[in-house]
Structure 1
Amino acid sequence: MRWIPRGLIAVALALGVVVPGSAPAAGAATELIVNGGFATSTANWWGTGNTPISVDAGQLKAVVPGGTANKWDAMIGQKAPAFPIKQNHRYLLSFDARVSAPRTLQTTVQLNTAPYTAPLNKAFAVGTKKQRFAFAFTSSLETTQAEFTIQLGGLAGGGYTLWLDNVSLLDLHGTPAGNPVALTSGFYVDPQSNPKQWVGNNPGPKATTINNALAGKPMARWFGGWNTNLADDINLYAGAADAADKLPVLVAYNLPGRDACGGHSSGGAAGEEAYKEWIQTFAAAIGIRPALVVLEPDSIGDFHCIKETKDKEARVRMLAYALQTLKDFAPNTWTYADATNKGWAEEIGVPELAARLNSIGVANAHGLATNVSNYYGTAETVAFANDLAGRLGKPFIVDTSRNGNGASTTWCNPTGRKLGATAQPGGGAEMLLWIKVPGDSDGSCGDSTTEAGHFDPDLALKLINNP
């Protein structure tokens, strides 16, 4: 990881590089797993007598028998040496796994003797392709004799083989909150963004224009129910950014009943408990890597479109849980709570917006995200955001992905829009970022007939070419 010395600040700003606020924080999480990479052996690992383990191409291979009655009748794990688990400490467990035939398995972090008290006891569905799994938990157990297990038995379908790799169990206690900007050397350019994928699949003059002006720039990646393996998708994205020493921007967008007013992006998790599980996986998959997260666009602004009081109350609880979870389990992440836009601020009133943000525990956020997926110009956004942020004692960022020509009378793919500034400090905001992916449609409306969240190259060209 790198940070920019003060003597280079002027040069960095001239190049559009984000300048960190400080050097990286000291301190690190404590790793509790020994030999989680299986480079040459399975030392420190065990399998029950009916489940032999071996090394196979740098992975642990476990041959699991069929016909067992209980989950724990076939197991693998690590308990030698036993490791301590501390009450109220926060932990991140992660590993890669695949099987010869799809199975739903159980993983635990537990006391290694009776009564086998388990502060983590989770089922997970694993397939034939290697996937990343990530789990976050706060321990209710205090012991020096803990173990990690995967329970493999009690399943229909006969015997099968499991491959396991890159096992990690981190104790986050004492890990300081880091500055993700200071820990990286600029923003990550997503090589799998919607516009980048379109460019790769459609070579020609249009693709060259879109790539040069848009697809080659830093922008956020959105995560929601369309991610069939959330931990794996975040791991691939944040891991690639971390390997490149760059800062990724992620958007969490999976609240039940999202886009309650517009309706074009409706959907979300099946309910409150499903959302809490989802956001916990989201945070655990980022883990200790540097990141920026924009939390749930529209979630504060569209309260008036949620009909039932109980649904509004559930939304407040879910957002509060999300902010607390990201703070607890992603210590090098700056989370920005969505704070709507100038239009909604005028309609709702800044005092009411501040009250809503306080109700979700905005103190647990690093800052506020303004103008997400909207078109208000930077100067007019900063004017309202300064008022709101001043009431809450928080910095703010501005989504400039489509605000180059300022506001419009409509929000859904309006005509005459233009790209704004990207990935830089400016104008009173902490950062100006492309949060909405430029060229992604708002829905079948205005200047696009493309489904919401899908890339429309003609819309992108208008953003590039409009005067």
Structure 2
Amino acid sequence: MRWIARGLVTAALALGVVVPGSPSIASTATASAATELITNGSFTTGTANWWGSGNTPISPDAGQLKAVVPGATTNPWDAMLGQKVPALTVHQGHKYILAFDARASAARTLRTTVQLNVDPFTPSLNKAFTVGTTKRRIAMAFTGAQETTQAELTFQLGGQAGGGFTFWLDNVSLIDVTGTPPGNPVQLTSGFYVDPNSNPLVWVGKNPGDNANTINNAIASKPMSRWFGGWNTNLADDINNYVGPADAADKLPVLVAYNVPGRDACGGHSGGGAAGEAAYQEWIQTFAAAIGTRPALVVLEPDSIGDFQCITDVKEKEARIRMLAFALQAFKDFAPNTWTYADATNKGWGSGIGTGELASRLTSIGVANAHGLAVNVSNYYRTAETITFMNELNSHLSTPKPFVIDTSRNANGSAGGANWCNPAGRKLGSVAQQGGGAEMLLWVKVPGDSDGPCGESGEQAGSFDPQLALQLINNPQT
């Protein structure tokens, strides 16, 4: 990352309310470094500082570590490799991220630990991970369990059915995130990232022609968010493959976390989510760890606050509050250069709930741990009326929050007929930018992606519909 503010930082925050403690985007950027604990994690000096158990020889292989793992072992620790020289220092209560690339000659479920290297080998991290024949990025977040200068990182490869195999390891990083000063991701980049694999851009690549040119020029070539949920079978790898290139290009990626159990309880078209509270906590910690210290913006769980009145089970509602609170804390702890925005519904929904009640719900999930609020996600209310709504909401919060507005489909507002689920007559709003009456205007909803088989589209939720995209481009301004 090049830690130099560029053209994007020329304007100041343009909120309609005073937000105490909000950093000015015209101030000088500060690098937010974290302490790297691993020596030779990219194996540029062969296998120096690494060890393998006597039955598991290790060697350098094309810039990676290669381990030949025997068969017929009983326990995971019967075949191991790791690093403890120099010994690792782990601080009790500190937050850590372990990340690495791994593959094997056959699919395996293995285990990694960060633990004492002397009896009783107490672990701060002891976690299984899966590998296949294709290299993938794995990221784990954990908290130091004890204060020690005698810790080690291990990869436990034994106890496997199916005989011996070969294991490859690369780009190992173990960082202590605690004490890393929070960064301003807007300052640390030179603009917003254009997703090279967005649904509109993928469609354009497969369907050359006049419509493709129109959609490319108006939508696919513009910055927009990428949504992550249960469809990401390898979350850490998918986030790394999105945030990594953005970081290398010095551009700011916008991500949406959308996997809370029972999501879209009111609408139903985007239902689903993680299998339960524990699964969600694991998923969200992986999300934060995969971003790590790189700059990013995250919109957390659209609909999750507005859905409360459609959740009839009290325990389910209490679990959602805990999960959202856990998520905000996880991003604060493990992604210090990420600005996280808790969803704050939209003007119509929020006015129906009542801004006082909405503020109470946000307080209950620990909105103090969020950088700000996201409003109008996947909706249509005009920017000016959304600003008025957000100023009213902020007046009910003990500490007002900056906010971002989803402008992907709001140029014609919400009036006239149905105002949700692919309604007719909508139009693209302002492209991603700082200011505009909010902290940022963003395309959070991907323009042209369907809300579900309803209204002007027969496509499933999240699927790109070129006719919807063309309507957003060509509908007259009202």
Q: Could you state the TM-score of these two structures normalised by the residue count of structure 2?
A: 0.94
Q: Quote the offset at 1:27 in angstroms.
A: 4.5
SS at 1:264 equivalent:
coil
Q: Does 1:57 align with 2:62?
A: yes
Q: Quote the offset at 1:21 in angstroms.
A: 4.0
Distance in 2 (CA, whole Å) between partners of 1:40 and 1:147 is 20
Change (3 A) 1:308 1:211: same
For 1:428, give the aligned amino acid. Answer: G
- Check the 8 A contact 2:425/2:475 in 1, yes or no: yes
Distance in 1 (CA, whole Å) between partners of 2:127 and 2:332 is 22
Q: Which residue of 1 aligns with 2:403?
A: 396
Distance in 1 (CA, whole Å) between partners of 2:141 and 2:374 is 25
Q: Does 1:269 align with 2:271?
A: no
For 1:455, give the aligned amino acid. Answer: F
Following TM superposition, where does structure 1 have runs of at least 4 consecutive aligned residues deviating by more than 4 angstroms? none
SS at 2:127 equivalent:
strand
Point out where structure 2 has 5 or more consecutive residues left out of the alignment. 15-23
Change (3 A) 1:10 1:133: closer
Distance in 1 (CA, whole Å) between partners of 2:425 and 2:104 is 52
Q: Which residue of 2 aligns with 1:16?
A: none
Q: Which residue of 1 aligns with 2:10?
A: 9
Q: Which residue of 2 aligns with 1:222?
A: 227
SS at 1:228 equivalent:
coil
Mean CA deviation greater in 343-352 or 417-426: 417-426
- Check the 8 A contact 1:21/1:181 in 2, yes or no: no
How large is the Cα RMSD of the aligned pairs?
A: 1.5
Which of the numbers 236, 239, 244 marks the counterpart of 1:234? Answer: 239
SS at 1:381 equivalent:
helix
Give the structure, 1 or 2, with the largest relative contact order (CA under 8 Å, sep 6 or more): 2
For 2:48, give the aligned amino acid. Answer: A
Q: Does 1:128 align with 2:129?
A: no
- Check the 8 A contact 1:51/1:63 in 2, yes or no: yes
1:175-324 equivalence runs, <5 A: 175-324=180-329
1:33-48 equivalence runs, <5 A: 33-48=38-53
Identity, in percent, stands at: 73
Distance in 1 (CA, whole Å) between partners of 2:31 and 2:259 is 33
Distance in 2 (CA, whole Å) between partners of 1:43 and 1:217 is 45
- Check the 8 A contact 1:382/1:427 in 2, yes or no: no
SS at 2:439 equivalent:
strand
Q: Quote the offset at 1:173 in angstroms.
A: 2.3
Aligned residues: 460
Q: Does 1:166 align with 2:168?
A: no
Q: Does 1:413 align with 2:422?
A: yes
Q: Could you state the TM-score of these two structures normalised by the residue count of structure 1?
A: 0.97
Point out where structure 1 has 5 or more consecutive residues left out of the alignment. 14-18
- Check the 8 A contact 2:432/2:440 in 1, yes or no: yes
For 2:452, give the aligned amino acid. Answer: G
Distance in 1 (CA, whole Å) between partners of 2:158 and 2:435 is 57
Distance in 2 (CA, whole Å) between partners of 1:26 and 1:420 is 33
Cα-to-partner distance string for 1:23-77 (whole Å, 9 max, x where unaligned):
2224521100000001241000000011000011100000000000100000010
Q: Quote the offset at 1:82 in angstroms.
A: 0.6
Which of the numbers 124, 135, 145 marks the counterpart of 1:140? Answer: 145
Q: Does 1:456 align with 2:465?
A: yes
Distance in 2 (CA, whole Å) between partners of 1:340 and 1:418 is 20
Q: Does 1:465 align with 2:474?
A: yes
- Check the 8 A contact 2:408/2:428 in 1, yes or no: yes
Mean CA deviation greater in 279-288 or 132-141: 132-141
For 2:378, give the aligned amino acid. Answer: S
SS at 2:87 equivalent:
strand
Distance in 1 (CA, whole Å) between partners of 2:226 and 2:251 is 14
For 1:400, give the aligned amino acid. Answer: T
- Check the 8 A contact 1:94/1:135 in 2, yes or no: yes
Cα-to-partner distance string for 1:5-30 (whole Å, 9 max, x where unaligned):
79x8379x9xxxxx934322245211
